[in-house]
Amino acid sequence: MKNFSIAKSRRLRSTPYTSRIEKQGVTAYTIYNHMLLPAAFGSIENSYKHLKENVQVWDVAAERQVEISGKDSAKLVQLMTCRDLSKSKIGRCYYCPIIDNSGNLVNDPVILKLDENKWWISIADSDVIFFAKGLAAGNNFDVKIIEPVVDIMAVQGPKSFALMEKVFGKKITELKFFGFDYFDFEETKHLIARSGWSKQGGYEVYVQNTVSGQKLYDHLFEVGKEFHVSPGCPNLIERIENALLSYGNDFDNNDNPFECGFDKYVSLDSDINFLGKEKLKQIKSKGVQKKIMGVKIDIKEINLTGSKNLYDENNNIIGELRSATYSPHFQKVIGIAMMQKSHWEVSQSFEIQINNNTFNGKVCDLPFI
Amino acid sequence: MKNFSIAKSRRLRSTPYTSRIEKQGVTAYTIYNHMLLPAAFGSIENSYKHLKENVQVWDVAAERQVEISGKDSAKLVQLMTCRDLSKSKIGRCYYCPIIDNSGNLVNDPVILKLDENKWWISIADSDVIFFAKGLAAGNNFDVKIIEPVVDIMAVQGPKSFALMEKVFGKKITELKFFGFDYFDFEETKHLIARSGWSKQGGYEVYVQNTVSGQKLYDHLFEVGKEFHVSPGCPNLIERIENALLSYGNDFDNNDNPFECGFDKYVSLDSDINFLGKEKLKQIKSKGVQKKIMGVKIDIKEINLTGSKNLYDENNNIIGELRSATYSPHFQKVIGIAMMQKSHWEVSQSFEIQINNNTFNGKVCDLPFI
């Protein structure tokens, strides 16, 4: 598989940590929200093993924030998501599918309630800010919508708790999952959430004071030696094994939340007002015809750079593989696929063509583990 | 300067031409509208020279279309742009700044009027589709908004006219700049515009029939040998020499159209209704404090991967360099900078730090040539 360089420019924004990760050996980037997101520091499998045992610091500044504040901010935020936020609390994070008027997904951010009238939408890879601006203008809402200077660094892995306690004290270990609070580092306050895009545990530091954040980045490596701290990034193997879905990879604006297994975040019975609500009611009553499922394929490697069709024994397309990786845990390839209704049963088989060879795979439930 | 690989995935979409350009020697990609856009085939300077003398075929499928159709489509399209489209004609392309409620830029697409109630917004790198969907929902407009299957291939360079005449006949040479019409290739109709992101002349083929488009791609190389046809892509040197501005590079959602020299596309005196109109009136009457200008710096190379501050002799920041390249034509570095009001006069000098050395530059008008 040939490598291609990334042509950097201002349009593919660097982060406050870019010069650091380049010294630390980043080898590949992806682009996420028009920004550089590290994708590999050498071997992804080595990084996966390290992440599951130790602690990593990740430059995930590409998780940009859409800040919505003002009198109508709660109304606008609720209009954008099918999840009922009427009982949401300050200091909590909420995973919220964002839905358009057709009932399709626009993004699947984590929303932080900072105050009754101030929210951060911590977005996946699409320009939610323009969706919010369009809705606000069209509805004459009294809101202010900006992309604030917030550059997240994540601290992930089983030893993240010990490392963060060493820096911020015992209080940070008491933070509940998807809770956030403010913690001092050298007299600068940082918003820190117990969250992150791995299932290995950890934190995300929403850095607003860039200089202090850079110092914190360096400090984590200085004091983290005893925990074998290393630089890292969202890991393809770890995220697929744990079925952390990715907007743009596993689903996109052609899919609705029921097709993506987000049923529990769709609050159709409440009296809240959100976009696409009637459409989603129709979709639910009709039932969906495709759904995201896991797949396992009995091969040792795959290099998926786009969608790949899955076939039944009569050569009919019955699904589309959207993400895949070799899994050291299962010792075979696992993947996330949008499957047609005929193939929603666990253990149903399908065929896939790779380099002109046909292989067999089986459907399974998500998460794999 | 170290190279970093691009980590491909479904989220960074391939185009119908990707496998072809990879065989033809593409070496670097950028990401544009969540899609692979070739950025280099080896030397950018060689490609620049070739483009100015011959003809190139470009995979610019990353210029995605937002299709707006339906009863209120004209109203929605006009709401999004400050350019007066009330006298727009079917079969014409219009360069249209898209503006938010604060008077700032969202994108600078070319808009194609396909029919009285059908438009394509051929976008630069931001998700205009979600801005349109937000506005349509907020205003209860009767429109349909989709991203159609359209994968543009551009044919650019002085010999593009002869090559396209050879394929499509004399009629295509009669197409006026920014006009479009439909032309047959092997019994498939293709929408072709006389346009493209270079000043060397040429066409853009809006490919809807993917298979026919791929055949056309191959055919252009087969019959184009006599014109020294080669694969190519938007060229950094050519586009800066000719001051083709780039959303995300030279300006973004923090800038307004007056700051970007788009004054002639801002129709404040008409009675049309567009977003940010009152705000733009205020901005115009107050006058702007920063403006895009050209700069020339007496050095032989630069590798700009983000913004770079420009200083006066007292070390005050007086501008921000946003794009730059060595220009073979001027035999020095030229660039596009957002300059503060104190430095809008041609020949004013400034200082810039590159690799710990200070160099002098001069402000100039755009375009350079």
Domain range list for chain B: 18-63+150-240, 289-369
User: For residue B224, what pLDDT band results from cuts at 50, 70 and 90?
Assistant: very high
Helix (H) or strand (E) holding A96: none
pLDDT the model gives residue B2? 80
Q: Cα(B224)–Cα(B48) distance, rounded to whole angstroms?
A: 18
Q: Domain A65-149+256-282 adopts which CATH fold?
A: Alpha-Beta Plaits (3.30.70)
CATH of domain B18-63+150-240: 3.30.1360.120
pLDDT the model gives residue B1? 66
Q: How far is CA A140 from CA A133, A135, A169, A242, in A?
A: 10, 8, 45, 41
Q: What SS3 class is residue B124?
A: coil
User: For residue A369, what pLDDT band results from cuts at 50, 70 and 90?
Assistant: confident
Q: Is the dihedral of CA A181, A184, A189, A190 positive or negative?
A: negative
Q: Cα(A104)–Cα(A84) distance, rounded to whole angstroms?
A: 17
With the CA atoms of A343, A344, A349 and A352 taken in that order, what torsion angle do they form, in degrees rounded to the nearest 10? 70
Is some CB atom of chain B closer than 8 A to the CB atom of A133?
yes
0.90 cut: is pTM over it?
yes
**Closest residue in chain A to residue B321, using alpha carbons only:** A10
Contact B249 A125 (CB under 8 A): no
How is residue A184 annotated by DSSP? E
Look at strands A5-6 and B28-32 and give their pairing: parallel
Q: Cα(A236)–Cα(B296) distance, rounded to whole angstroms?
A: 44
Which among A47, A52, A49, A56 is positioned nearest to A28, based on CA atoms? A47
With the CA atoms of B64, B70, B72 and B73 taken in that order, what torsion angle do they form, in degrees rounded to the nearest 10? 20
Q: Which of B130, B137, B306 sits opposite A126 (nearest CB)?
A: B130
Round the average pLDDT of chain A to a whole number and report it: 97
What are the helix (H) ranges across B169-225? 210-223
Which among A121, A60, A125 is positioned nearest to A94, based on CA atoms? A121
What are the helix (H) ranges across A28-144? 44-53, 73-80, 128-139
Q: Which amino acid is at A337?
A: A
pLDDT digits 0-9 by tens, A221-241: 999 999 999 999 999 999 999
Is residue A30 within 8 Å of B6, Cβ to Cβ?
yes
Rg (alpha carbons) of chain A, rounded to whole number: 21
Is residue A31 within 8 Å of A12, Cβ to Cβ?
yes
pLDDT the model gives residue A1? 65
pLDDT digits 0-9 by tens, B23-41: 999 999 999 999 999 999 9
Contact A130 B125 (CB under 8 A): no
The strand pairing partners of B224, in sequence order, are none
Is some CB atom of chain B closer than 8 A to the CB atom of A249?
yes
Round the average pLDDT of chain B to a whole number and report it: 97
Helix (H) or strand (E) holding A99: strand A98-99
**Closest residue in chain A to residue B7, using alpha carbons only:** A30
Q: What SS3 class is residue B172?
A: helix
pLDDT the model gives residue B265? 98
Q: Cα(B234)–Cα(A9) distance, rounded to whole angstroms?
A: 14
pLDDT digits 0-9 by tens, B261-280: 999 999 999 899 999 999 99
Q: How far is CA B62 from CA A53, A160, B102, B111, B152, in A?
A: 40, 40, 27, 16, 8
Q: Cα(A352)–Cα(A302) distance, rounded to whole angstroms?
A: 11
Which residues have CB under 8 Å from A151's CB, separation 6+?
A: A15, A16, A17, A61, A207, A210, A213
Contact B138 A135 (CB under 8 A): yes
User: For residue B259, what pLDDT band results from cuts at 50, 70 and 90?
Assistant: very high
Is some CB atom of chain A closer than 8 A to the CB atom of B40?
yes
- The ipTM assigned to this model is 0.97
Helix (H) or strand (E) holding A40: strand A35-40
A157 to chain B nearest CA, in Å?
23
pLDDT the model gives residue B369? 77
Contact A7 B14 (CB under 8 A): no
Which among A106, A73, A75 is positioned nearest to A276, based on CA atoms? A106
The strand pairing partners of A360, in sequence order, are A351
Q: Quick one: CATH architecture of A18-58+157-176+186-240? A: 2-Layer Sandwich (3.30)
Which among A26, A12, A36, A35 is positioned nearest to A57, based on CA atoms? A26
Is residue B306 within 8 Å of B289, Cβ to Cβ?
no
A3 to chain B nearest CA, in Å?
6
pLDDT digits 0-9 by tens, B130-183: 999 999 999 999 999 999 999 999 999 999 999 999 999 999 999 999 999 999
Q: Cα(B13)–Cα(B242) distance, rounded to whole angstroms?
A: 29
pLDDT at B4 over 70: yes
Q: Which of A131, A249, A322 sits opposite B134 (nearest CB)?
A: A131
pLDDT digits 0-9 by tens, A170-219: 999 999 999 999 999 999 999 999 999 999 999 999 999 999 999 999 99
Q: Which of B26, B138, B246 sits opposite A138 (nearest CB)?
A: B138
pLDDT digits 0-9 by tens, A122-150: 999 999 999 999 999 999 999 999 999 99
How is residue B187 annotated by DSSP? T
Portion 143-202 of A in contact with B at CB < 8 A: 147
pLDDT the model gives residue A110? 98
The strand pairing partners of B335, in sequence order, are B295, B324
Is some CB atom of chain B closer than 8 A to the CB atom of A12?
yes
CATH of domain A289-369: 2.40.30.110
Contact A30 B6 (CB under 8 A): yes
